Structure 1
Amino acid sequence: MDQPLHRRQAPRRCCTLGTLQAWLPILSWLPKYKLQYLKMDFLAGLTVGLTTVPQALAYAEVAGLPVQFGLYSAFMGGFIYALLGTSKDVTLGPTAIMSLLCFSVVGGQPHRAVLLSLLCGLIQAVMALLRLGFLLDFISYPVIKGFTCAAAVTIGFGQVKNILGIQGVPQQFFLEVYYTFYKIPEAKVGDVVLGLVCLALLIMLMFMKSHPAADNSSAFSSFAGKLVWAVATMRNALVVMAASLVAYSWDASGHLVFTITGHTSQGLPPFRPPPTSDTTSNGTVVSFGEIIQGFGGGLAVIPLMGLLESIAIAKAFASQNNYRINANQELLAIGVTNIMGSFMSAYPVTGSFGRTAVNSQTGVCTPAGGIVTSVIVLLSLAFLMPAFYYIPKASLAAVIICAVAPMVDYRAVAKIWRIHKLDLLPFFVTFLMSFWEVQYGIVGGVAVSGALLLYSMARPKIKVSDHGAVLMELSSGLSFPAVEYLSHIIHAQALQVLPPRSVVLDCHHVSIIDYTMISELRDLLRQFKLRRVQLIFAGLQPSVLKVLLAADLQGFRHTDSVEKALQMESVNLLDD
């Protein structure tokens, strides 16, 4: 028997060029690629690559991992995103926030960090395939700001010990603060001086980039401006290279003045599946189930925060550069990046705001710029790892502090206070709880935001006025959290007064109604009938009216407008 036509056509629709371009965006831009794009993509990719290498090394320190794991995590994103990404600007790789989250979950254990990347990628890819990106909408702006501010403080202060060159400082934030100050007498002069010099140079170069010279009329001024911009953009790489040369010079003269990175594994990581078990230092084997149990809530928080950070960046630069992104495709790109990265010993990654900004400002034309960045990272792994031996930890600490400092956005607090003071509650809950445990801060902030949202649903604004009958203007939907509140207001204003009064409900702004509310309305209509007064609905939207008519409420009356309802109220006795 022949199949219906729409079933026979379904496989054809799945294999159309449009469908393939939706799943593989590279098919959209690669056929239109022009030779002039190559120059800009190469320049942007090279610039971002020189920014990525020192940052990746530094962020591995934040994650508590050997520095080579930062580079392991930095190259897969460029290749995958060129295939699957929908933004020309976004660069995927290790970030300060994801590194901190990773450390809070795995405690600096490399095998577990790699397994975490695989599981996060699977969760993110499944969310993309099931179109679950809307879940990110439940994380409000105050929660995001509270988390990023706390993360910046935690990450920044966590690097003070490396600036001071002190050892044996615990990782838990409050203990870290105490022992950092307690051990100040043990600080190494060389590390302190080098760290402060690196900080000063980075801040000066950041200032020069954000405040360029105004006079670009002459050729020399224009060239000087471009040179300053290039040096300022590559400031991280230049400062780390200079610090490494200083450390090497002192080491060659036999003076161990600085705390250096030390031995790192050279070469590309082997392509292999992530480990599904782990062995502790005393030889105890930890099973896959026990590792998952140890991840706890972090297994939900890290994928969501990774998606949130990456999509927020993609949307911001898409709006700035006048193009659109596909949010679910972005979820798929980051999910596949984390899955494939786990086979190359990477820990979870996401979009980087700083490197994306550099990519955009350098004039990248297509996602191909990310391929150049990835090649730079691979070349560093293959040939430069011995040179990383002499990188002073104080210089990496300076890079991290300068990277996270702008995340402490005190102006956002002032804006929230000015616009909606109640939103400061989830902000401060998130901010303060994040110092205890990062994932608890996010969960706590989301819980408080949810409670405020539910409270607004349970206590909708009801404007009451007297027009002979009691007129109640409802400002939102009629759903089950608001049942008791609406019933209380109606009883207090109409049914418990002498004599009882009729009520007109202005429902122009009501777009939803549920079964619990309908059950309560049925009881209210019965009580109004017993007291020989009326409950009249005005301005019902068609979808709400359809539900109320389907409920077959006895004594249900409605009009198109409030004026007609008030005229109807002149009939005091209800029909039998």
Structure 2
Amino acid sequence: RCPRPALPVLRWLPRYSRAWLPLDLLAGLAVGLTAVPQALAYAELAGLPLQYGLYSSFMGCFVYFFLGTAKDVTLGPTAIMSLLVSSYAFHEPVYAVLLAFLSGCIQLAMGLLHLGFLLDFISCPVIKGFTSAASITISFNQIKNILGLQGIPRQFFLQVYETLRRIGETRAGDAVLGLACLAALAALRAMKSRLPRAASAEPLAARISCRIVWISATARNALVVLFAGLVAYSFQVMGSQPLTLTGSIPRGLPAFRPPRFSMAAPNGTVPFWSMVEDMGVGLAVVPLMGLLETIAIAKAFASQNGYRIDPNQELLALGIANILGSFVSSYPITGSFGRTAVNAQSGVCTPAGGLVTGALVLLSLAYLTSLFYYIPKAALAAVIISAVVPMFDAGIFRTLWRVKRLDLVPLCVTFLLCFWEVQYGIVAGVLVSGILLLYSIARPPIKVSEGDVLLVQPGSSLHFPAIECLRDTVCSRALAASPPRSVILDCCHISSIDYTVVVGLAELLQELRKHGLSLAFCGLKDPVLQVLLSANLEGFQHFPSREEAERCRGAELWDSRTDPFTSTESSGLI
């Protein structure tokens, strides 16, 4: 059997079919028409010059062509990542590019060390709380551009206060255009979702009409931005400009050079370690959220379209994309759900579609930046709001209330604190989820049945925080019974124990024996049995099944007549 190629592109490129080429070209073009206006909008959200959005939109496409394992995924700037960059890069391009480089190094190291399992500790309620809060904060952050307001602070609560206080300063031109763009984007999105699939038996004209509508709805961001730009240009020609424009964007491709590891400041130079300290917890939050977004999107579309991905290879691809991206002045990138959905719906067959998307972005940088001058900021704000509103999941609160109300705690903690600062919300949500997880380990469900003997059945494996709870339950129920009862510990659900548990069981055996009671074990799995036998517990008795242990009920029956497997050696633990 031939070994599997280490480079993912070598798994599909040798068998590339000519029939796939038009589909990959169409998908790459559709994603590119979505990516260019979104890149400009997301750079605005990140607080960076708009060209940095375009700088961040092409390297991921080329890297993923070689290293990605999901045919649908596209890498680039996203609303969530732009929000995080805004928080941790302080609107400084040097910080943003260095953050991309360091995030890529962390992601690459996690992929090489197979540490992707760490993402499993970020629970679904935490993710939903973060994305729902981000949807609101990002949307409200763009209200100032819809209304044409200047000088609005970044912090959410101050933002709300200042926007409401200064709403009388709204520029009518920006507001009308922004709302019109929002309405157009919503209408085109609804049109696409309701568009029936044209059957091959239908007339050619009907199929062409459906395809035109589908392309228009898919490229809605580009069409709306183009229309808004034409409106702004018309006003400029007439000599009046009621709109706030994007302004000049430098033309040309970014230089290929390493990121800067220091920054000139008015009072001297900010060294590398000071920049790292300034970014602080962002060096954990940004790479982890990037990985989480990419893996979640890749898994979702792989499951939907019937193929498998390699999570660790995805970590490597994202890490290398961010490292190489930092050499072309990119800020941190990740998988984009919206553009990946466009890619999948366009019928993409391989990651080769990303080459077309990347080439389209490069062409825009090389030849079209002069036209971006006339794009109104209100139109870009509408593009961002249209992209993030679907991220708010109102139903998750109702679902968790119905399914498991305790999971509302990390959801609400994350959701509320993210309005204060994103990093506090994510860290607090992970900590609360961790505490709930540890509590379930420390207090496992214990079923107690009373009869001639006390049958105790832990509902999960026993680890060191749980042994005191088990001891207290057994002693309180066994000794409080009238008369006191011996105990059978049914271990059928216990797959592992640790040394502290062994010590606690030895102490429990001694305590029951002082009161003339016995403790027998049944249903032990082999790994657990080997640990207990190796510990040489004094008076240790175990039976193959609960029924056999119950037949030997009563301490007077647990003697040599039943010939159980008994260890009578002295315990070295007590």
After TM superposition, is the score higher than 0.5?
yes
- The alpha-carbon distance between structure 1 residues 366 and 499, as it changes in their structure 2 partners (threshold 3 A), is same
Corresponding position of 2:191: 208
Corresponding position of 1:481: 465
Corresponding position of 1:565: 549
- Indicate if the aligned counterparts of 1:534 and 1:569 stay in contact, CA closer than 8 A: no
- Indicate if the aligned counterparts of 1:532 and 1:573 stay in contact, CA closer than 8 A: no
How do residues 103-182 of structure 1 correspond to structure 2 at under 5 angstroms? 103-182=86-165
- The alpha-carbon distance between structure 1 residues 213 and 81, as it changes in their structure 2 partners (threshold 3 A), is closer
Separation in structure 2 between the aligned mates of residue 428 and residue 319 of structure 1, nearest angstrom: 29
- Indicate if the aligned counterparts of 2:552 and 2:558 stay in contact, CA closer than 8 A: no
Corresponding position of 1:251: 236
- Indicate if the aligned counterparts of 2:75 and 2:334 stay in contact, CA closer than 8 A: yes
Query: Which segment is superposed worse, 350-359 or 243-252?
Result: 243-252
Corresponding position of 2:571: none
- The alpha-carbon distance between structure 1 residues 214 and 547, as it changes in their structure 2 partners (threshold 3 A), is closer
- Indicate if the aligned counterparts of 2:509 and 2:519 stay in contact, CA closer than 8 A: yes
Instruction: List alignment gaps of at least 5 residues for structure 1.
Output: 1-15
Separation in structure 2 between the aligned mates of residue 141 and residue 76 of structure 1, nearest angstrom: 30
Instruction: List alignment gaps of at least 5 residues for structure 2.
Output: 560-567, 569-574
Separation in structure 2 between the aligned mates of residue 161 and residue 570 of structure 1, nearest angstrom: 77
Offset, 1:215: 7.8
Corresponding position of 2:498: 514
Offset, 1:494: 1.0
Offset, 1:487: 1.0
Query: Which segment is superposed worse, 295-304 or 116-125?
Result: 295-304
3-state SS in 1 of match to 2:542: strand
Aligned counterpart in structure 2 of residue 191 of structure 1, from 147, 151, 174? 174
CA RMSD of aligned residues (A): 1.4
Query: Which segment is superposed worse, 33-42 or 494-503?
Result: 494-503
Corresponding position of 1:226: 211
- Indicate if the aligned counterparts of 1:533 and 1:572 stay in contact, CA closer than 8 A: no
Q: TM-score, normalised by structure 1?
A: 0.95
Aligned counterpart in structure 2 of residue 304 of structure 1, from 263, 275, 288? 288
- Indicate if the aligned counterparts of 1:261 and 1:393 stay in contact, CA closer than 8 A: yes
Offset, 1:36: 1.4
Matched AA of 1:401: I
Percent identity of the aligned residues? 58
3-state SS in 2 of match to 1:35: coil
Matched AA of 2:472: H
Separation in structure 2 between the aligned mates of residue 527 and residue 414 of structure 1, nearest angstrom: 48
Corresponding position of 1:396: 380
Separation in structure 1 between the aligned mates of residue 306 and residue 558 of structure 2, nearest angstrom: 61
Corresponding position of 2:431: 447
Offset, 1:218: 3.2
How do residues 56-75 of structure 1 correspond to structure 2 at under 5 angstroms? 56-75=39-58
- Indicate if the aligned counterparts of 2:486 and 2:555 stay in contact, CA closer than 8 A: no
**Is residue 256 of structure 2 the alignment partner of residue 271 of structure 1?**
yes
3-state SS in 1 of match to 2:19: helix
- Indicate if the aligned counterparts of 2:72 and 2:343 stay in contact, CA closer than 8 A: yes
- Indicate if the aligned counterparts of 2:259 and 2:329 stay in contact, CA closer than 8 A: yes
Offset, 1:495: 3.1
Aligned counterpart in structure 2 of residue 43 of structure 1, from 22, 26, 34? 26
Matched AA of 1:322: G
Deviations 1:298-334 (A, max 9, x none): 1101111100100110011111111100000000000
**Is residue 477 of structure 2 the alignment partner of residue 493 of structure 1?**
yes
Aligned counterpart in structure 1 of residue 225 of structure 2, from 240, 246, 249? 240
- The alpha-carbon distance between structure 1 residues 176 and 402, as it changes in their structure 2 partners (threshold 3 A), is same
- Indicate if the aligned counterparts of 2:98 and 2:261 stay in contact, CA closer than 8 A: yes
Query: Which segment is superposed worse, 352-361 or 477-486?
Result: 477-486
Separation in structure 1 between the aligned mates of residue 229 and residue 238 of structure 2, nearest angstrom: 14
Matched AA of 1:265: P
Offset, 1:569: 2.7
Separation in structure 1 between the aligned mates of residue 336 and residue 23 of structure 2, nearest angstrom: 20
Name the count of aligned residue pairs: 558
